[in-house]
Structure 1
Amino acid sequence: MPELPEVETIVKGLSPDLLGRTIEGVKVFHPDVLRQPPQDFSAELRGRTFDSVSRRGKNIVACLTGDTVLVVNLGMTGRLLLTQKASDATHPAVRFTLDLGPKLVFDDVRRFGVVEVLSGLEWNARARQFGPEPLSAAFTAKKLLAGLKESGSPIRSWLLNQRRLAGVGNIYANEALHIAGIHPQRSARSITGREARRLHRALRSTLRQALANRGTTLRDYRDASGAPGGNAAALTVYGRVGEPCHRCSAGIERTVFGNRSAFLCPMCQPYEPGEKP
């Protein structure tokens, strides 16, 4: 699933071509990605002009005229593409025709993504449910530690909870925990102040590196122009089972909990007595 760096990269690619553009037509190929009837969805958007395109957590948020907000969550395999011709999108679910320039297409082979229209009030209420943005000034090591002490869940699960922290998914949670030297199954409340400071630095450095590399493409992710991200080569543990740890050369291991794969170095991220949940 695209995470903060991937969604932010898409937003930056969309903005120059969408701002000031007006939606002239909407074609819904697969209504199951919508949260309202296709005719209502299309009517809400037709004639609206893009005022801004931003990101909140893993969501692409387009504010349009008339107090209308178009929210796109890419799910597992979704892509939001600017296309000159229909063949550029292989699994189109929704296509937006603009008054000028390329078409905007939500393309999703598995159709776990969601495209919906909200009012500004509705979106603001939803946005308040998310945790802090990990690259914001408001997200400090002190606040991270305070949040961790409230929870007995595994630290990896805590990081994936969007109400705790917005935008972090399995790739960057695993990467940050490895850099910080913390086992992903450690209880969140067992994390010490020193470890929380390391994890805070690791989260921010991992996300900034991925942003600089325009996201991580393992299979499905593409930016707004259809290009893959370049961060896969920089991953230290995610998807590297059996390969040597860059720090100590021990083999990277995979474990499964919470229905998600976790990747770790058994030497750099050990358990200690009393740390298991």
Structure 2
Amino acid sequence: MPEFPEMENYRRMLSGSILNIPISHVKVNREKSINVPSEEFISGLIGRRVIFVERRGKYLIFHLSDGRRLLLHLMLGGLLYLTRGSEEQPSRSTQIEIAFGDKVLHFIGLRLGYLHMLSAKEVDATLSQLGPEVIDRRMTQERFVNLMMKRRGSLKSLLVNQHALAGIGNCYADEIAFDARIHPASKIQNLNEELLEQLFTSVQHVLKEAADGGGYMDMPFTGDDDLTGKYNEQCKVYDREGEPCVRCGTAIVKAEQTGRKVFFCPNCQHEY
């Protein structure tokens, strides 16, 4: 599932590709992926422009020139693909296509995800239960430590809890725990202030590095996109079962924790 780095990568690429270009054509191949009748969705977009693309957690928010929003959640398996002119169309079927002049943005894999047309207030209401952004100037080390001291439960469960912190999923929770040298099964209430400060540093480091590296999901945004998915080569533990730890050489272990798969080094990640 796309997480903060994947959606931030999309946000940056979209911001450099589609802003302020009037929407010239819309095609809806799956009405369940939208929240209004196809005719209303299409007529509400034709002639409008996307003036800003915002990311909130794992969501993208397309700000339209008429004040409304398109709220996108890719869920499991969703992706975006942009074609230009006569470029070859994506091999997978698309649920929604939006044309910006000669560019067409394809929304693919929205069997569980969606693209909803909403007012600004409706978007705010939908996202009101999300936790704070972990990569934000307002998220200081002190604030992070104070937030974590109010929580209980395992580190992995906390990191992927969207009500606690927005944007982190399975992959980066494991990578953050590894970077911090903390076992993902550690109880957050057992971590002292020094460990929580280290955790904050690891959250910032891993997520910024992953976003700049294109995220871990191999799904190019355009035909010539050679950035998206490249961070997968830099993952230290996620999906690396049996491979030697880059720090100590011990084989990476895959286990299950509260119904989620988890990858970690049993030697240099300590449980608290």
State the TM-score, normalizing by the size of structure 1: 0.90
Seen in structure 2, the aligned counterparts of structure 1 residues 93 and 5 have a Cα distance that, compared at 3 Å, is same
After the TM superposition, which residues 16-95 of structure 1 pair with which residues of structure 2 at under 5 Å, given as runs? 16-84=16-84, 85=87, 87-88=89-90, 90-95=92-97
After the TM superposition, which residues 128-207 of structure 1 pair with which residues of structure 2 at under 5 Å, given as runs? 128-207=128-207
One-letter code aligned to 1:32: K
Contact 1:81/1:226 (CA < 8 Å) preserved in 2? no
Structure 2 counterpart of 1:96: 98
Please give the alpha-carbon distance, in whole angstroms, between the structure 1 residues aligned to 2:194 and 2:221: 36
Structure 1 counterpart of 2:122: 122
Which aligned runs of 4 or more in structure 1 are off by greater than 4 angstroms? none
Please give the alpha-carbon distance, in whole angstroms, between the structure 1 residues aligned to 2:55 and 2:260: 25
Seen in structure 2, the aligned counterparts of structure 1 residues 22 and 139 have a Cα distance that, compared at 3 Å, is same
Structure 2 residue aligned with 1:223, among 218, 221, 224? 221
Please give the alpha-carbon distance, in whole angstroms, between the structure 1 residues aligned to 2:4 and 2:221: 13
One-letter code aligned to 2:265: C
Contact 1:148/1:191 (CA < 8 Å) preserved in 2? no
Structure 2 counterpart of 1:257: 257
Offset at 1:47?
2.6
Please give the alpha-carbon distance, in whole angstroms, between the structure 1 residues aligned to 2:47 and 2:233: 43
After the TM superposition, which residues 208-247 of structure 1 pair with which residues of structure 2 at under 5 Å, given as runs? 208-217=208-217, 219=218, 221-223=219-221, 227=225, 228-247=228-247
SS at 1:72's partner residue?
strand
One-letter code aligned to 2:106: V
Q: Alpha carbon RMSD of aligned pairs, Å?
A: 1.9
CA displacement 1:200-247 (0-9 Å, x = unmatched)? 111111112112211113x5x333557342111111111111111111
Structure 1 counterpart of 2:107: 106
Seen in structure 2, the aligned counterparts of structure 1 residues 224 and 169 have a Cα distance that, compared at 3 Å, is farther
One-letter code aligned to 1:223: F
CA displacement 1:19-39 (0-9 Å, x = unmatched)? 111223321111222233323
Please give the alpha-carbon distance, in whole angstroms, between the structure 1 residues aligned to 2:132 and 2:261: 24
Please give the alpha-carbon distance, in whole angstroms, between the structure 2 residues aligned to 1:9 and 1:56: 13
Seen in structure 2, the aligned counterparts of structure 1 residues 201 and 6 have a Cα distance that, compared at 3 Å, is same
Please give the alpha-carbon distance, in whole angstroms, between the structure 1 residues aligned to 2:184 and 2:39: 45
Contact 2:9/2:212 (CA < 8 Å) preserved in 1? no
One-letter code aligned to 2:241: V
Contact 1:68/1:119 (CA < 8 Å) preserved in 2? yes
Contact 2:61/2:69 (CA < 8 Å) preserved in 1? yes
SS at 2:203's partner residue?
helix
Please give the alpha-carbon distance, in whole angstroms, between the structure 1 residues aligned to 2:266 and 2:131: 30
Please give the alpha-carbon distance, in whole angstroms, between the structure 2 residues aligned to 1:161 and 1:43: 37
SS at 1:76's partner residue?
coil
Most deviating of 206-215 and 37-46: 37-46
Seen in structure 2, the aligned counterparts of structure 1 residues 8 and 35 have a Cα distance that, compared at 3 Å, is same
Please give the alpha-carbon distance, in whole angstroms, between the structure 2 residues aligned to 1:95 and 1:189: 47
Task: Extract unaligned runs of 5+ from structure 1.
Answer: none
One-letter code aligned to 2:172: Y
SS at 1:185's partner residue?
coil
Question: Paired residues, what number?
Answer: 268
User: Share of identical aligned residues, percent?
Assistant: 30
One-letter code aligned to 1:222: P
Please give the alpha-carbon distance, in whole angstroms, between the structure 1 residues aligned to 2:120 and 2:222: 25
Please give the alpha-carbon distance, in whole angstroms, between the structure 1 residues aligned to 2:187 and 2:177: 13
One-letter code aligned to 2:13: G
Seen in structure 2, the aligned counterparts of structure 1 residues 107 and 89 have a Cα distance that, compared at 3 Å, is farther
Offset at 1:141?
2.5
SS at 1:55's partner residue?
strand
Please give the alpha-carbon distance, in whole angstroms, between the structure 2 residues aligned to 1:255 and 1:45: 46
Please give the alpha-carbon distance, in whole angstroms, between the structure 2 residues aligned to 1:115 and 1:159: 26
Please give the alpha-carbon distance, in whole angstroms, between the structure 2 residues aligned to 1:226 and 1:81: 11
Offset at 1:264?
0.7
